[in-house]
Amino acid sequence: MKDAQPRTIYLKDYQEPDYWIDQTDLTFHLGEDHTDVTAVLQVRLNKSKQHEHLPNLVLDGTDMQLLSVSIDNQPIDSNQYTVTTENLSLPVSKEQFVVTINTRIKPQENTSLEGLYRSNDMFCTQCEAEGFRKITYYLDRPDVMAKFSTTIIADPKKYPVMLSNGNLVADEHLADGLRKVKWEDPFKKPCYLFALVAGDLACVDDEFITQSGRKVALKLFTEAANVDKCAHALLSLKRSMKWDEDVYGREYDLDIFMIVAVDHFNMGAMENKGLNIFNSSCVLAKPETATDGTYQRIEAIVAHEYFHNWSGNRVTCRDWFQLSLKEGFTVFRDAEFSADMNSRPVKRIEDANFLRTMQFPEDAGPTSHPVRPASYIEISNFYTLTVYEKGAEVVRMIHNIVGKEGFRKGSDLYFSRHDGQAVTTEDFVKAMEEANNVDLTQFRRWYTQSGTPVVQVSDNYDAANKRYTLTVKQKCPPTPGQVEKAPFHIPFAVGLIDSLGNDMPLDEQGNTTLVLDIKEAEQTFTFSNINEQPLPSLARDFSAPIKVEYPYTRDQLMFLMSHDNDGFNRWDAGQKLAVDIIKELVEHQRAGMTLTLDERLVTAYKSLLTSASLDKAMLAKMLALPSEDYIAEECDVIYPLSIHVARDFVRRTLAMKLHKQFKACYAANNIEKAYQPTADDIAERSLKNICLSYLTLADEQGIELSWQQYQQANNMTDRFSALSILENAVSVKARDYAEQALASFYQQWQHDVQMIEQWLSVQAGGEYTDLEKIHQLMQHEAFDMKNPNKVRALIGVFANRNKVHFHRDDGAGYAFLADQVLVLNRLNPQMASRLLTPITRWKRYDETRGALMKEQLQRIMKEKDLSKDVYEIVSKSLQ
Ligand SMILES: [Zn+2]
């Protein structure tokens, strides 16, 4: 029986468990039809809780067959315990005892990709958040931390590689031809960090010497065909290990660190102790098949998972409401690492842009929740941008408040105080407070209040007294369950710019950027000795995850675009100018007027292209118009097709009017050289390719140039950019080239999993890919509904990026998405609920589209056997 209405779990109901588990010894017999698991658990009563009598031991477990159970070697008769679809409840007569549980599971049939499952011919696991309960009965909660040993027994011909957490302590061949290995992890851990891998895998070896001189063996396991795609991940791993020592003083603690690449994986990667499991798309790369974006993503994700060894594994979460304790902190850590390895301003622009485009809508939508949620139905639904990305911004704000050195003092205290413990975000903030003697009482609201604060700024210049005042009002719109919000503590970095474009000194030390502490609903800040009317540069470097409103004129934005000394705000001035212009064009388009482009945007772009003051990475960023998603986020009512038409008109007009400049810039950056994923080369390629995208809009010559680049490129970044440009270009010639390119691409790369994902996604997002084509691609041999990467590449990209066809007037795009969600609801509920996002925002769209989306949500809601994952998202969206 499933509950008709799944249960909501509340943070306020948190209690420690009745029992602890000190030692967990697991034995797996891996078989082709089923796997038998023996769990031997050393259990101890939690004496810090009051007990009138010994409570039953209630273990979590689902989707398995219980074969037998015993306590202290005494078999328990089945009439003495109770088993439901979610629990095993055992009578207890002692305070300390050993439970032995034998269960049978079917990894071959597990399409949810949680627990133990098969990916191609290998066994692998994913236990976070609650997958371990699909392996055996257990106290599946992160505050129960035990030492683990894992014994694996399997056919060595099929599974020559058998891995688990920790160190290998035994390896023997058994009389029946099977092999038995035993792994022991010396560190206590919650079961969500358990991992097992068995398969026929090749291994690429490396090593790292830690700061104290210990040698750590590094091993990357993958299918034999991919051994030439491991170098970048291993290099990134070594850089991460070194960086965590240099910046946080954190050294790796085991003698071996393993990464396994897996094709079927719901997430990007998983930080299991000593045995990270990666979605193969987030770890494998070589120049012929990986783009710059892939290289950078791999560097960031390898670092992220490695950094978890301290921020997540050594110090873990008490309960899942604290998820941002490990994720927000670790995303902040990996962002700083990437900034140190590449261009810092560009990394900041990318992160802030991503947050504004993707997390702000989440924070304003039906599933809006605080960084530390107060309740959930299915925790898998809370691996969100709010918990990860906004959580990282919250940590960044603490960093900015206490400074770099203060932050290090705080993190040192946090790690030393809580090593080996399961703790809360409160413990993290406390350590930061105590190490720095600051008061973060009001700041804590960032963890408990949802929604994006809006900061309205007005100013006044008093020429007679040379005094300039900024009046700042903050408000936060109501979000589900939170109508009224108390004021946030917002670190607000401000600069003032004079009429020549220079930063004015703001205090006696001559600082040109000051961080104002906004704490009230309304506050005024005064600057003295200001010699002329300044132009304010607000929330520099995106100093807080907020929206800033100030009535800049278009001329002022043009001025900031060429003069702001803050890289982020300089870029943002260009975004604001473009958004303002495109929003007006959206109105004109809807009113049936002829569109004309404000010449100022052309002038601004022209001066970008001819300016010597920008590096290539910044220039490439600044030449990109705001995305349709970002423009939509800035509109009161979203008309997706009008936005598409208006933005497209602006791109074409810029392409025509600045043809000469784009051509010169393309030529200057189209330099033949061997591929290297260095920051400079990446910047050069991104600049070249954005110029190419404009040139292709201008004339047939541009299309020929793209075709030429597609054929001649010596790396996947250039080739894929050209393919994507052709796939979205309008002329008959371009369609013909795109067809040829797609066919040859498939011909060449059909056996390369990562390439086929790219091949699917470039088509799914293509302007000329209609629903019929999507249906055809779903029938293609390259597609597999059981593989999350392919589902994301085809269905996910279609629903999120193909605005024209997904949002077609008759609602067929929405019905299509609902159909796929219903199929995945049975196969892989996590994927199903994530895929839903585009239609959950139905209230933001025009009435007709909103109603069509809502209709599909209601249709899903009527489905029998709706998973908790899908039920939670759909029911919240309909409220
Ligand atoms: Zn993480």
DSSP class per residue in 261-320: EESS-SSSEE--TTEEEEEGGGT---TTT--HHHHHHHHHHHHHHHHTTTBTTTBEESSG
Helix residue ranges, H only, 136-179? none
Alpha carbon of 312 to ligand 1 centroid (Å): 8
**Closest CA relative to residue 349, chosen from 540, 494, 563, 497:** 540
Rounded Cα gap, residues 440 and 45, in angstroms: 37
* The predicted structure's pLDDT at residue 559: 98
Rounded Cα gap, residues 464 and 318, in angstroms: 59
Residues ≥6 apart with Cβ < 8 Å to 833: 378, 380, 381, 821, 867, 869, 870, 872, 873
Alpha carbon of 341 to ligand 1 centroid (Å): 20
AA letter at 118: R
- Cβ 331 vs Cβ 304: under 8 Å: yes
Alpha carbon of 382 to ligand 1 centroid (Å): 13
* The predicted structure's pLDDT at residue 379: 96
For the chain, list residues with pLDDT below 50. Answer: 1-3
Alpha carbon of 304 to ligand 1 centroid (Å): 6
* The predicted structure's pLDDT at residue 5: 72
Alpha carbon of 553 to ligand 1 centroid (Å): 41
Scan for tokens 């597999």, then name that residue. 784
* Distance between first and last Cα of the chain: 26
Alpha carbon of 321 to ligand 1 centroid (Å): 14
Bin 529: left if φ > 0, else alpha if -120 < ψ < 50, else beta. left
For the chain, what's the residue count? 879
Rounded Cα gap, residues 79 and 84, in angstroms: 13
Q: What 8-state DSSP symbol labels residue 638?
A: B
Q: What 8-state DSSP symbol labels residue 594?
A: P
Residues ≥6 apart with Cβ < 8 Å to 437: none
Neighbouring-strand partners of residue 222: 202
Alpha carbon of 754 to ligand 1 centroid (Å): 22
Rounded Cα gap, residues 823 and 817, in angstroms: 10
Rounded Cα gap, residues 430 and 439, in angstroms: 9
Alpha carbon of 697 to ligand 1 centroid (Å): 40
Residues ≥6 apart with Cβ < 8 Å to 708: none
Alpha carbon of 32 to ligand 1 centroid (Å): 32
* 3-state secondary structure (DSSP) of residue 870: helix
Alpha carbon of 807 to ligand 1 centroid (Å): 33
Long-range contacts of 245-251 (CB under 8 A, 24+ apart): 245/210, 245/211, 247/336, 247/337, 247/340, 247/408, 248/310, 248/333, 248/408, 248/411, 248/415, 249/408, 249/412, 250/309, 250/310, 250/415, 251/210, 251/211, 251/212, 251/214
Q: Given 114, 130, 299, 305, which residue is catalytic?
A: 305
Tell me the angle at which helices 868-878 and 847-861 cross, rounded to the nearest 10 degrees. 140
Alpha carbon of 327 to ligand 1 centroid (Å): 5
- Cβ 175 vs Cβ 207: under 8 Å: no
- Cβ 869 vs Cβ 829: under 8 Å: yes
The number of helix segments (H) and strand segments (E) in the chain equals 30, 31
- Cβ 167 vs Cβ 254: under 8 Å: yes
Rounded Cα gap, residues 324 and 290, in angstroms: 31
Residues ≥6 apart with Cβ < 8 Å to 242: 208
* The predicted structure's pLDDT at residue 2: 43
Alpha carbon of 330 to ligand 1 centroid (Å): 6
For CA atoms 171, 173, 174, 177, the dihedral sign is positive
Rounded Cα gap, residues 696 and 693, in angstroms: 5
* The predicted structure's pLDDT at residue 6: 86
AA letter at 692: L
Alpha carbon of 539 to ligand 1 centroid (Å): 27
* The predicted structure's pLDDT at residue 4: 55
Alpha carbon of 326 to ligand 1 centroid (Å): 7
Q: What 8-state DSSP symbol labels residue 77?
A: P
Alpha carbon of 271 to ligand 1 centroid (Å): 7
The pTM assigned to this predicted structure is: 0.98
Alpha carbon of 309 to ligand 1 centroid (Å): 10
The 10 Å Cβ neighbour count of residue 561 is: 23
Alpha carbon of 127 to ligand 1 centroid (Å): 13
Alpha carbon of 334 to ligand 1 centroid (Å): 10
**Closest CA relative to residue 440, chosen from 456, 455, 429:** 429
Q: Which two tokens stand for residue 559?
A: 């001025």
Neighbouring-strand partners of residue 258: 219, 275
For CA atoms 651, 656, 657, 662, the dihedral sign is positive
Alpha carbon of 631 to ligand 1 centroid (Å): 29
**Closest CA relative to residue 474, chosen from 445, 433, 513, 506:** 445
Q: Which two tokens stand for residue 826?
A: 């049975």
Whether 305 sits among the annotated catalytic residues: the reply is yes
Alpha carbon of 270 to ligand 1 centroid (Å): 7
Alpha carbon of 268 to ligand 1 centroid (Å): 9
Scan for tokens 């309304």, then name that residue. 522
Rounded Cα gap, residues 352 and 644, in angstroms: 23
Rounded Cα gap, residues 525 and 650, in angstroms: 39
Scan for tokens 């609801």, then name that residue. 825
Alpha carbon of 331 to ligand 1 centroid (Å): 7
Alpha carbon of 391 to ligand 1 centroid (Å): 12
Alpha carbon of 115 to ligand 1 centroid (Å): 18
